[in-house]
Chain A
Amino acid sequence: MPAKSKIQQIENLGINLESIKTREGIIGYILRSPKSASIDLSDPAKVVDYALLSAAALDEGKDLSDTLEIGEVNNIILEGTDVKILSLRIGDSRLSVFMKKDVDHERVCKDLYAT
C-alpha cells in the first residue's frame, strides 16, 4: 500500500473509532500499531484483562484459522457473559472494540471502514 493511502487509512480509522466510541453500548477500544498503542476504555481497571484477551483472540484466532485451513482472518467476534469483543487487523494495526452484548457488531465493523 502506498505510504500516503496508508496514512489516510490510519487517519480514517482514528476518526471512525472516535465516532463509534460515543455510541451507546460501546465500552471502548484498544488499537495497537507496531510503534504505538491507543487505549480508550471506560473502565481503566480492566485495561490489562482486556488487552490480554484482545491479544489472545487475535493470535489464537490466527492459529485456529491456520490449523483449520480457513484462510486469512477477516475478524473475530468473542462473546462473554458480560461483553462482546470485535477484533481485527487493519493494515499493520490490531484493533479490538469492546461493547455490550446487544450492540450490533456487524454495523461497528462496517463503520470502521467508512471513509
Chain B
Amino acid sequence: MSVDPYTVALNNALTEIKNICPDVTRSFIFTKEGAMLAGDTEVADETLSKLLHSFQSIAEKADKVGGLNTLLINAKNGKVYVSQVNDMYLAITTSKNADISYLRSVTHVIVPTILKLLKDITPTPLKPPPSQPLIVDDLTGLFKRQDTVEIDYEILTQWSRLLNVKSINEVEIESVDGTIGSCKVKAIDNSGKESRGLIRIPEKICQILKVKKGELVKVKPVS
C-alpha cells in the first residue's frame, strides 16, 4: 500500500474510528472494483483477497436491485459491517455486542469529513492508488506476445477512468516476496466472470518475477 497523503488520511480515519468505537477489531477501505485504499496492515494479503472477492460477488448481484449500500453479517463471535461512504466501501469487523447504529453514525461523519478536508487542502486532484490483488494464470498460445500480460477489461477501464487517461498500456506487478517488474498490458480476450481477478502472465515474465500459477500479485497501472 503506497504511503501518500490520501492513504495516510484514510488510515488515520480508521484509527480514529477504532478509538471512538473500541468494539472495532479490524477495518478496511476499498473501492467497488476491489482496490484496497487503506486498512489494517497486519492482515495477510490472502485474507484481503478473499474478503474483496466475497464482497465483489455480493455487490455484483446487488447491482440488479439498485446497488449495495450496507451489508451486516451477525455471527456468533462478531459482526462484519460494510458500508458505502461516498464512492468507497468501508468494511469493519466488531465484537458481537457492538452497537452498529452508533458505528454507522460515527463512520458516516468521520470518513466523509476527512475526504472533504483532503479535497480542500490538497492542491492536486485526489486519485486513490489503484493497486489490485490478482491471481496469476498462465498465458500460453502461439500468437501471444511474451512481453505482455493480460488483465480483465473491466479493471483496465476502471484504471483509465481513475487516472483520466485514454488507455492503460503498462502495469507494475509486485510479487508476494516484493519482486517488482513492469510490462505491457492488454485486456483478456473474451473477458468474463471467470477472468475477473486473474492476471495472465507469459512464462518468461513469471520467471523474472518468480511467480507461479495460482499465486497472488499486486498490480497497478503505470500512467
Residues in B neighbouring A71, C-beta threshold 8 A: 75-78
1/0 contact trace for B38-80 toward A, CB 8 Å?
Answer: 0000000001001100110110111011111111111111111
Since A52-B61, A60-B58, A78-B72 are in contact, a sample of 11 more A-B pairs with Cβ atoms closer than 8 Å, ordered by chain A residue number, is A57-B71, A60-B57, A61-B54, A65-B80, A67-B51, A68-B51, A70-B93, A71-B78, A72-B76, A77-B74, A78-B70
* Contact across chains for A73 and B75 when beta carbons are under 8 A apart: yes
**What's the Cα separation between A82 and B67 when bound, in Å?**
8
Count contacts on A: residues with CB < 8 A to the other chain. 29
The reply to whether A49 and B71 form a contact with Cβ atoms under 8 Å apart is no
B196 interface hit (Cβ, 8 Å): no
Binary contact track A13-48/B, C-beta < 8 Å → 1, others 0: 000000000000000000000000000000000100
Residues of A within 8 A of B (CB): 46, 49-50, 52-53, 56-57, 60-61, 63-65, 67-83
Given A73-B73, A76-B72, A64-B80 contact (CB < 8 Å): yes
Residues of B within 8 A of A79 (CB): 68-71
How far apart are the CA atoms of A91 and B107 in the complex, in Å? 35
C-alpha spacing A83/B67, complex, angstroms: 9
In the complex, what distance in Å separates the CA atom of A112 from the CA atom of B66? Answer: 26
Whether A70 pairs with B78 at a CB distance below 8 angstroms is: yes
Q: Could you say which of B55, B58, B77 contacts A70, with CB atoms under 8 Å apart? A: B77
Q: A65 to B75, Cβ gap below 8 A? A: yes
- B26 an interface residue at 8 Å Cβ cutoff? yes
Given A53-B64, A82-B66: A74 in contact with B58 (beta carbons within 8 A): no
A70-B75 contact in complex given A60-B54, A64-B54, A80-B67, C-beta closer than 8 Å: yes
Q: Given A60-B54, A65-B80, A81-B69, do A75 and B74 touch, yes or no (CB 8 Å)?
A: yes
